[in-house]
Amino acid sequence: MRGHARNAVVMIAIGAAALAAPWIAPAITTQLAFLWLMILFAVTWDINGGQMGYNSFGNVFFFGIGVYVCALVQRDSGLPYYEALFAGIVLGALAAGAAALVLGPAILGIRGHYFAIATLGLSIVAADVASAWEYIGAASGMAPPVYPGAIESRTKFFYYLLFALAALTFVVVRWLYSTRFGLAINAIRDDEDKAEAMGLHTTRYKVFAWCVAALFLGAAGGPVGNLVGFIDPRDLAFAGATFGVWMVLMAVLGGKGTLWGPVIGAVVFHVTQELFWTYLLGWQRVAMGVLIVVIVVFFPSGILGWTLRSRRHAVKSLPQARTQSAS
């Protein structure tokens, strides 16, 4: 119960800070909007990568689908701005979810490293196709319609949209992990052969988990395309070398397979990255590379995993110490 109360306080505090942020720090609203995007990236990646043990390097594929579908709906539907935007977000989410539903049964049948490689291919192929397809602007990209309002209010609007999406993602994922479905994907992670021998519908659960991730990634695509204002196929929509890799890094940094780990990892990663850009300009990529190596070598179980483990060791060693001193 006390844990519940503390959780509620933390969530309300984060919510209040999130709502107030664009008014307190208007200069960095765009960076903060990207913070929510990073949290959404890490949390959705962790559904498969952390909780189910399927490390995907291609989840950015679903994000890119959302970016393009939303922009196309905005360009071609003829609806007024807000109607077109929301229709685009919903359709973008559904298209990404449908893509996961179609590709999932085949790709999720591959285990371990081979799965990671297959998903990597997915985002590379998507970037190539998007760069060559005239209908969606090919390599010269697409520009979503202009926001009907001032630039500051545009930034605030998309900030709140991304905050709402990240919050919704977190709440849904937290609920998902509290159900038997959460146990099922953990079981698949720990021992898929055993899960099959116990009769679990493993393929069904794996595909569903990927669809959930794809749905939220697809929904996030539209607002990001509009916030940035220009859609480049390789640098924004199917940005495998940045977004695609960051998703993995953030979850690993925070502690994969935990609820809060990816959130913590996304915050630390994003803040560090912004600091590198500000204070180490020119060397920011080198600094980022060093950070990644440090994370993987020294904190393989992430910030949260490392904290939990050291706390558990402290608790564990207590009774042992006592028996030793008694004997």
Partner 1 sequence: MSAAGALLEVRGVSKRFGGVIANRDVSLDVPAGGITGLIGPNGSGKTTLFNSIAGFHPIDQGSIRFDAHEITRLRTPKIARLGVIRTFQQTHVYRGMNCVQNMQISTSQAGETLFTMLRPSSPAMTARAEALLEFVGLHAKRYLPAGELSFGQQKLLEFAMALMSEPRLLLLDEPTAGINPVLINGLVDRLKRANAEFGITLLVIEHNMRVIMNLASHIYCLAHGELLAQGTPEAIRSDPRVIDAYLGGR
Q: Contact, 187 vs 54, CB < 8 A?
A: no
Alpha helices per DSSP H over 179-254: 180-190, 192-197, 202-228, 245-254
**How far apart are CB 197 and partner 1 at their closest, in Å?**
6
Q: Tell me the backbone φ, ψ of residue 259, rounded to 5 degrees.
A: -75, -50
Q: Is 178 in the site for partner 1 (CB under 8 A)?
A: yes
**How far apart are CB 257 and partner 1 at their closest, in Å?**
7
Joined together, the tokens standing for residue 276 give 């590198």
Site stretch for partner 1 (CB under 8 A), options 55-63, 200-208, 213-221, 276-284: 200-208
**How far apart are CB 200 and partner 1 at their closest, in Å?**
6
Residues in contact with partner 1, counted by CB under 8 A, come to a total of 26
Joined together, the tokens standing for residue 3 give 């844990």
Q: Which of 186, 272, 284, 307 binds partner 1 (CB under 8 A)?
A: 186
Q: Which of 80, 199, 282, 319 binds partner 1 (CB under 8 A)?
A: 199
- CB atoms < 10 A from the CB of 199, how many? 7
Q: Contact, 49 vs 251, CB < 8 A?
A: yes
Q: Is 210 in the site for partner 1 (CB under 8 A)?
A: no
**How far apart are CB 283 and partner 1 at their closest, in Å?**
38
Q: Is 198 in the site for partner 1 (CB under 8 A)?
A: yes
| Residues near 237 by beta carbon (within 8 Å), at least 6 away in sequence | 63, 64, 67, 68, 127, 130, 221, 225, 231
Encode burial over 67-100: b for 16+ CB neighbours within 10 A, e otherwise. bbbbbbbbbeeeeeeeebbebbbbbbbbbbbebb
Nearer to partner 1, 15 or 105 (CB): 105
Q: Is 193 in the site for partner 1 (CB under 8 A)?
A: yes
x/- map, 128-167, partner 1, by CB under 8 A: ----------------------------------------
Nearer to partner 1, 6 or 204 (CB): 204
Q: Which of 10, 128, 191, 296 binds partner 1 (CB under 8 A)?
A: 191
Q: Is 106 in the site for partner 1 (CB under 8 A)?
A: no
Q: Is 183 in the site for partner 1 (CB under 8 A)?
A: yes
Q: Tell me the backbone φ, ψ of residue 231, rounded to 5 degrees.
A: -105, 110
Residues that bind partner 1 (CB under 8 A): 176, 178-181, 183-184, 186-187, 189-191, 193-202, 204-205, 208, 257
